[in-house]
Amino acid sequence: MRRLLPQLIVLAAAGVGFGVAYRYFLNDPSEATAANYLRSGLHGMAVTVFGWGANLYFNTRVSRWLRTWPLPAEIALRAVAMATAIAAVISVLQALIYDEALTRKWLVEQLPRILAIAFVLSAVFGSLFELIRLIGGRVLLNVVLGRYRNPIREDRVMMFLDLAGSTSLAEALGEVRMEELLTRFFFDIDEPIVAHGGEVHAYVGDEVIVSWPLPAGVSGGACLDCFFAVRDRIEERAESYRRQFGSVPQFRAGLHAGPVVIGECGDSRRQIAYFGDTMNVTARLQEHCKAVGRTLLVSADLLKRVRPSALLRIEALGQAALRGRAATVEVFAVERGLDASA
């Protein structure tokens, strides 16, 4: 809810601005009174918030059935639902705010126009939203701005989070059911990742790669807390996983901080790719979890920059020779204290 509150405030303010602008540019100047501007602002805010609420419904697990449809059909249905919600709100506000009865003339002449405009706008914003979901909001902005047309170096926190025992799970469930589990798992962990400022860079098989820009990624230990928030989310839904798949996903992760070279690559399909030793170390840390029997390993480079929560226990494991790397890395295991899980 805390993550949604800033969005709600911004959208409400935008709705007020739109309502006031509509009153100023399109209404009769003789009606330009303070009371009418206030009404228009409230009108715009209510329409925006209810439209946003309708959109939120389609981003919950309740609406997963719709995501099996072809994308044009999904966008069209979402647009119909949002347009209907917006038109209903406008109709109610017409009577409440302006104290005007819904006459037959208004319903015949105005309501169809409102529905048509709302449908078109909903379809446009729905398509934009799907594009953002496809490649990520930050990635889309960076592509538009051309930030990574030429490779640049950035300091980043990287996390490689991998599903444990995926091979045996795939054998037990079959390929299709395993894909359903992965889809469900990635969906469930997305909210805690975003809530902790993380950006999903890629899904690679049964692994998700998450990134935080420095210093944002180390502020208050958000990158470390993210792992345990993901664990909490899966534990909350453990019974549902048992019923559907017969087991609860277990996972391991490695966290490291350092310079990453970022640039656009490819031609027929453009992609923003991350390169460098930081990526290799993070991947090897995640692999090393299995060898030492831990669920979360981090590097000394990360702990030099992060401020771990007092609720976390940090255990030094010494220098480790990671696969494919000549230089050793000082490794630490991170676990949550007993008080934190209570």
Domains of the chain are: 4-135 (no CATH), 145-341 (3.30.70.1230)
CB distance 258 to 185 below 8 Å: no
Backbone angles phi, psi at 10, to 5 degrees: -65, -45
74 class by beta-carbon count within 10 Å (0-12 exposed, 13-18 middle, 19+ buried): middle
Most confident of 83-92, 211-220, 303-312: 303-312
Closest CA to 223 of 170, 275, 155, 274: 155
Segment 168-190 shows an average pLDDT of 92
Segment 292-313 shows an average pLDDT of 92
Q: What is the pLDDT of residues 223-252, one digit of tens each?
A: 999 999 999 999 999 999 999 999 999 999
CA atoms of 27 and 31, how far apart (whole Å):
7
Closest CA to 333 of 276, 286, 291, 295: 295
287's tokens: 């692999």
| pLDDT of 301 higher than 90 | yes
pLDDT at 342: 43
CA atoms of 263 and 280, how far apart (whole Å):
17
